[in-house]
Structure 1
Amino acid sequence: MARESFDKEVQFLRMLALAGGAYSRQQFADRLGISVHTYDKTLRYIKDMRTMLSSDAADDLAEGLRYNHYESADPLLLFLFRSKSLKDSESVRLAVLIGLLQGEALTAKELLDACSDSMPSDYACPDEKTVRGDLKYLEEVGVIRRMEGGRPYKYRADIDLIDRLADEELLDLYDYVDVMANTQVPAVQGYLLRDTLKKALTRRGYGSETFDVHLYKYHYHTRILDEAHLYTVFEAIRARRKLTFLYLSPKKGKNYASKNTNPLFERETEGRFETTLPLRVVYDHQYGRWYLIGHSPRLGTMKYRMEGVTQIELGDAVDAETFDRRLEVIEQELEHSWVTDTHRRVKIRARFYNPGRAGANFVRERVLSQGQWGVVTDESDTTFLYEIEVNGIYEIKPWLRSFGSSCEVLEPAWLRRELIAEWKEIQAYYEPVREDL
């Protein structure tokens, strides 16, 4: 799949996850900045891709995103990563080769003969050069290994670790990976590993009831979709290379812009092209968003929401001294950021109220786990104080507000007045229309 095409599919699924069936075809296409014809073609492509890679593809994609709350995001979104940068025929061919090598060690010519019987009738049998290229690729990524001995070389699927595990050990490993993939970030690699373990358990005779031990209500589908560019960014940071990309600010209301490759249909691009030296990646747990923090020669420190990054390309490398100097500046600016805010530092004091019942103090536990470097001081049996110095208030304010009546902001006074005004506005929404109701 072309890189631009993958950008389009990511933005398409993002809107589908957020809006469900709320948009008509025309509204959906307008929001993406594509034609209705391209919308229909993209939707067909996604359905075909899901049919090929997912066992429950018969379910309606939009309905699943809207109503199947207690399911992993795997069957609904992860199929896109399985087909990333793979042509349709290539994904089928690699699956056939891996399947053949799981049973026994085979040479390239033996695999070529076996492919003629194993390839689906809709796909042409590969030639020897293609098979050898696939074997080299699979060996490089660690899926298969070359057996000891001389030519002709034999290859086998590298699954010794899984094969040596007893059933109980494999079940424990699956449960651990399942929990970590659904609760930690990044998650895509964990889901792919979980799929491998699930297939291994299935071959040992375990049914679907084995895999439903833990259930998750998945809120942030964009978290997985934004991982499409995450590893490219990590690669650029490790190699100290610049990134060039088309950035579509979430404030603009446009999610995608195609490349102007056809002069007959050329139009002005909605976003702006950016060149930045990537330095940090930040994840916002409250909203499930990834942020790219970089340095621009013209504008200095820049912050980008990853969902707006498209058409990403690796650029030139910089020397280690320049990279370290830029990174030191960024770390100083972000030292007191709740997420990515670099505004003037503010000291916040808030009083939290314990729940009025015996048992676990959920308010205190949440403040201790989410309050970052803030200091908690007991005030009485029912209250405690929380103090923190943070860059700006715009990122921490929703967190404070989420505690409702269990949190009272004391300082600064202007923030206290802002919250009082907001709560009065909310209260007005619930006032009765008629006084006698």
Structure 2
Amino acid sequence: MTERAKKDATKGLRLNMIIDLINKRTPYGGVTVNELMDKFEVAERQVYRDLNTIANDLRVPLVKQERHIEGIKKTCYCLEVGYLPSLSPEKATVLFLSLLQQKGSALTGHLNELKDALVSTLFKYHYNPKELAVEKLQNRIHLVEETLVEPEQVGEMFSKLVQALKVCYRVKIKYFVTHSQKETERVVEPYGLICKRQNWYLVGQCLERNAIRVFRVDQIRDVFPYTSETFQYPTDFDLKEYMAHSWGVMNDGEVCQIRLKFNHRVAHRVKNLIYHPSQVLEEELPDGSIIVGFRVCGITEMKTWLVQWGDTVEVLEPGWLREDMCKLAEGILRVYQGELGDFSNRKVEA
């Protein structure tokens, strides 16, 4: 390596270290020129040259502010964009990938801006982007997720609801009700938001029903903030406690003891995942199957989950849930028997 190359490498390392130091000291008022001189053992003129390079060539916005340190007025340098935690390239990459996972959700509207800010702040100035190769990595990650048809529009509704939560004001919503296939208008006092498989739900006091209701955000067609109509958040309401026994997002108030038997083909999957906080592995049977217990409410949502397991799960208790699953299975069978019958007729006619 030539002497020039060694100097460039040393300078590049020092610049990165200066940025990291300013970043860490920003919450505490920044760092002085003298502190930089002592830390990196360079002359005052070199410190100013380095700060100029960081601000103008690397385009890292710096702010100068006056502080009194031990009674003496001194100039300190901080990051204009605020403090960023010190992250390794590995952790920064994980953070980047977690943003990718939100593609197609209600957060999509701001996602690209966040990704660009993350790349420019964490990667471009702190690490070598060629070594991290975030664009190449992004092209080699495939996410299998449900996505919204109009994520930007849903994201706009979501942002309005978040603001209402912060300030505690009422909102009027236009809400599409699935079972009636009708659009209704409700005035709601927002209590909280729930996320289930990247789908967001609003929990709030519905003034029309005079009760707590759950609204799926992607079924909200419009939000009208009543910024002048604030409400007092109830001191006796706790969102986590309210949802503690719910299997999904619905709290029907009736907590039931559920016992399920999973056969040997899926037992390992069930043992490796916690589907609900109340989940208990009650017994492992000689044939490899397992019996798992839950204490939950919102059984309607649980039924759709049980259907996904097909013939690998059996409801042991309660009896009424066994009967409900039998009826559900019979209904599904009738649908497919009808299709098979139609298909057979068409085949004969052909």
TM-score, structure 1 normalization: 0.50
CA change 1:403–1:223 in 2 (3 A) is farther
- The residue aligned with 1:307 is 218
- The residue aligned with 2:231 is 318
Give 1:183 deviation, angstroms.
4.2
CA change 1:252–1:424 in 2 (3 A) is closer
Aligned-partner Cα distance in 1 for 2:136–2:241: 50
Give 1:308 deviation, angstroms.
2.7
CA change 1:273–1:425 in 2 (3 A) is closer
Query: Are the counterparts in 2 of residues 246 and 272 from structure 1 also a CA contact under 8 Å?
Result: yes
Matched AA of 1:410: L
Aligned residue among 190, 194, 197 for 1:282: 194
User: Are positions 1:393 and 2:299 aligned together?
Assistant: yes
- The residue aligned with 1:80 is none
- The residue aligned with 1:413 is 319
Give 1:340 deviation, angstroms.
1.8
Aligned-partner Cα distance in 1 for 2:256–2:113: 43
Give 1:302 deviation, angstroms.
2.1
Give 1:395 deviation, angstroms.
0.9
Aligned residue among 361, 365, 368 for 2:268: 361
Aligned-partner Cα distance in 1 for 2:169–2:124: 43
Query: Are the counterparts in 1 of residues 55 and 62 from structure 2 also a CA contact under 8 Å?
Result: no
Aligned-partner Cα distance in 2 for 1:161–1:289: 29
Give 1:361 deviation, angstroms.
1.5
Query: Are the counterparts in 1 of residues 204 and 213 from structure 2 also a CA contact under 8 Å?
Result: yes
Q: Deviations over 1:30-89 (max 9, x none)?
A: xxxxxxxxxxxxxxxxxxxxxxxxxxxxxxxxxxxxxxxxxxxxxxxxxxxxxxxxxxxx
Query: Are the counterparts in 2 of residues 223 and 289 from structure 1 also a CA contact under 8 Å?
Result: no
Give 1:352 deviation, angstroms.
1.0
CA change 1:205–1:420 in 2 (3 A) is closer
Give 1:283 deviation, angstroms.
1.8
CA change 1:342–1:284 in 2 (3 A) is same
Query: Are the counterparts in 2 of residues 243 and 313 from structure 1 also a CA contact under 8 Å?
Result: yes
Aligned-partner Cα distance in 2 for 1:379–1:192: 49
Aligned-partner Cα distance in 2 for 1:313–1:405: 48
Q: State the superposition RMSD in angstroms.
A: 4.2
Query: Are the counterparts in 2 of residues 187 and 224 from structure 1 also a CA contact under 8 Å?
Result: yes
- The residue aligned with 2:116 is 195
Query: Are the counterparts in 1 of residues 250 and 298 from structure 2 also a CA contact under 8 Å?
Result: no
> How many residues are treated as equivalent by the alignment?
265
Q: Point out which structure has higher relative CO (alpha carbons under 8 A, 6+ apart).
A: 1
Query: Are the counterparts in 1 of residues 191 and 203 from structure 2 also a CA contact under 8 Å?
Result: yes
- The residue aligned with 2:283 is 378
Aligned-partner Cα distance in 2 for 1:393–1:371: 13
Give 1:376 deviation, angstroms.
1.9
Query: Are the counterparts in 2 of residues 341 and 395 from structure 1 also a CA contact under 8 Å?
Result: no
Give 1:384 deviation, angstroms.
1.6
Aligned-partner Cα distance in 1 for 2:322–2:146: 30
Percent identity between matched residues is 17
TM-score, structure 2 normalization: 0.60
Provide structure 2 residue ranges, at least 5 long, that are not aligned to the other structure. Answer: 1-53, 67-77
Matched AA of 1:317: T
